[in-house]
Chain A
Amino acid sequence: MAALVPSTFSGIADFMAIVVLLSEFAMLRAPLSRSQIKLYSFQSMVVTVLAIFIAADRHIDGLYAVAAISLILKVVVIPAIVLRLLRDAKVELVASNRIGVASMVLISILVSIFAMVVIDGLYVHSKSLPTAALGVAVAVVLVSFLLVIFRSDVVSQAVGFFSLENGVSVASLVVAAGLPLIVEVAFFFDLLVAVVVFGVLMRVHHGRTQSLSTDLLDQLKG
């Protein structure tokens, strides 16, 4: 089904998916919590544009609404909530890398290659996007796991979860662009509630320890 010469559509879509992946890499190595959140906002913006692009190309009107909610929630509201928490916390730099930046990036590259090879073996033929973008979306999900594993501060871990959701969004645009609107809205509502819970816990943690590092959370074992 896939044409030998990629169409302009698939070229642009693949390109945007790769930008999402690259911003995930940037979050992985960003030293400042604030820049991580801005990168998340940028990444969400790219996902939003991708949604609008697919909506226009495939004439799926529901996707415009999804893009609008995504713009308000993921590009503006969620980053604003977390930035505000950070301002209150007055912590600028959290040294939280468990391993060196070079090693993190190398492992992430390997994981991304793994994701693309595995998805390529599945022969998914999507009407709305080429398969390459699905592999990239899975790579985003896996690298977001690495972000949570390798960075030991609450902001990185929360942003890791939010950007995991961005990866799943790209995947859903790839294979399930026609997902009913009510379901999409429910997903977004859920994300918002999760953000509030993450925010409450971040605040409690900071209030207790005066730090955003998760290294202190090691009392419960066995």
Chain B
Amino acid sequence: MNFILEAILIIPLSAALVSWWVTPRIGKILSVLSGTSTFVLTLTLVDSKTPTALAGWLRADSLSVVFLIAVSFLYFTTSIFATGYVHKVGDRSVGAKYERRLFAGLNLFCWAMMAAPLVSSMALLWVAIEVTTVISALLVAIDNTEGATEASWKYVLIASMGLGIALFATILLYYVGSTVFGHNYDLFYPSLFGAAPRFPHQITELAFVLAVLGYGTKVGLVPVHTWLPDAHSEAPTPVSALLSGALLAISFYAILRYFQVTVLTLGPRFPRDILLAFGLASLLLAALYLAAQRDLKRLLAYSSIEHMGILAIGMSFAAPIAIVGVLLHVLAHAAAKGTAFFGAGSIVKKFGTKDMTRIRGVVRVLPFSGPMMVLAILALSAMPPFGVFRSEFLIIYGGLSSPSSAVVSVLVLLVTIAFFGLSYFATRTMLTPALQGMVSKETSWWIVTAMAMGVFALLILGLHPPSQLSDLLSRAASELVVRP
């Protein structure tokens, strides 16, 4: 398949290495070029039929491509946003060393997140996700403030311990595979899926629960979410956007791979129940915390937990349409949360604080990014005509046709509570009169451009997704529930 998969990995990696050595200016250009080309290359995969590369170690089936689109879109927009973000933070210009580190780190982080859905083995998937942890932990700490150090320490410790559990799950899965294959085999997805119906049940159950708990730590599922608000709020904003829109989704992708195996071994009942329990807990806690936030970036972090909860609940519904909704939700959430964090970055630059009691009249002070921030918040609350509305609609529609429709009522109730939390914030900070002495001026046109792309993507996903994309989503959904 003419080296597209290799190129998707080589381009960000080389951009990372080169931008470490060159001047920040060239580093920025390289990052934007790398983000753009990676995104374009990923889009060419939409129609392709499961290309493989490197003797089968790289493989992109429809499920992988969905997550690749989410990551590469955020890579693309974040590289543009970051260019404007480091232009000037507050009134001081950040040093060249900081910029070099940030851009090298961003490229490397995106490289690892692109690698996770591309590798074709459960073991390498674990390795890729652990690599995302160590890179992003350093990126969280990069501002070198007291809060950043604390958040980074909590993040690397909790996420590494969680991934230790996920490693244990990987080893148990290897063991159940060895009952069919004998020793010495690679944990490639196609062979695992083929043999899964013959796996012993009890240990597969244990492996699935440990995988949900382990990778769920990085998804931000309650009760193993505790690192998430700290890391999201203390990281530099481009990193927050990537953490929230891409990293959480990639970790959820890992859970979906275990879901695939477990469904083939045990039937759908058991994995659905487990995901439902974690999803409801996440949605409940996040909805309540959303109502009581003062910190702008923490608010968006709890909104991420909410949306990850929705993903988990969506997976617990039997109808295939709900699964399509979940996958669309991954894309729409990436676009919406990216845009919202870009807007938060613009606001924090303008006001010099994340404290929402001191942010007033954003729409007046930031004439373009302000209104787009309002749109992003509306999108996150699942308002039409944005992508999140369509995806949550599909999930709820699928849920109504499944036997457990009581869950749908709870889902709608909790999403409504979350909506109140978000809209209370939006009206209080966005639509109020401006503080005296604030000049109406954008912080950076790079930021406005990045946000405009996010809003544009949200509109496309909500109003009329291209037919190739819809086909891709249904193919990925059928991969998730039907034997390949």
Binding site for B on A (CB under 8 A): 60, 122-124, 126-127, 141, 145, 148, 154, 157-158, 160-161, 164-165, 168, 171-172, 175-180, 183, 186-187, 189-190, 193-194, 196-198, 200-201, 204-205, 208, 214, 217-220, 222
Known: A175-B171, A178-B178, A178-B184. 10 other contacts (CB 8 A): A127-B183, A161-B160, A176-B178, A183-B123, A187-B167, A198-B156, A201-B152, A219-B147, A220-B147, A220-B150
Say whether B134 contacts A193, CB under 8 Å: yes
Please, how many angstroms separate the alpha-carbon atoms of A186 and B130 in the complex? 10
CB of B206 within 8 Å of the partner chain: yes
Within 8 A of A (CB), among B159-212: 160-161, 164-165, 167-168, 171-172, 174-175, 178, 183-187, 202-203, 206
Least CB distance from B67 to A in Å reads 21
Say whether A145 contacts B161, CB under 8 Å: yes
CB of B306 within 8 Å of the partner chain: no
Within 8 A of A (CB), among B122-174: 123-124, 127, 130-131, 133-134, 137-138, 141, 144, 146-147, 149-154, 156-157, 160-161, 164-165, 167-168, 171-172, 174
Say whether B157 contacts A148, CB under 8 Å: yes
Say whether A168 contacts B146, CB under 8 Å: no
Please, how many angstroms separate the alpha-carbon atoms of A154 and B149 in the complex? 12
Question: Could you say which of A124, A178, A194 contacts B130, with CB atoms under 8 Å apart?
Answer: A194
Question: Could you say which of B144, B160, B178, B293 contacts A222, with CB atoms under 8 Å apart?
Answer: B293
Please, how many angstroms separate the alpha-carbon atoms of A190 and B128 in the complex? 9
Say whether B149 contacts A208, CB under 8 Å: yes
Question: Could you say which of A148, A193, A197, A219 contacts B161, with CB atoms under 8 Å apart?
Answer: A148
Say whether A172 contacts B156, CB under 8 Å: no
Binding site for A on B (CB under 8 A): 121, 123-124, 127, 130-131, 133-134, 137-138, 141, 144, 146-147, 149-154, 156-157, 160-161, 164-165, 167-168, 171-172, 174-175, 178, 183-187, 202-203, 206, 229-230, 233-234, 289, 292-293, 295, 298
Please, how many angstroms separate the alpha-carbon atoms of A112 and B141 in the complex? 35
Say whether A187 contacts B127, CB under 8 Å: yes
Say whether A168 contacts B137, CB under 8 Å: no
Please, how many angstroms separate the alpha-carbon atoms of A124 and B203 in the complex? 8
Least CB distance from A183 to B in Å reads 4
A175-B172, A200-B138, A222-B293 as given contacts; A190 in contact with B127, CB under 8 Å: yes
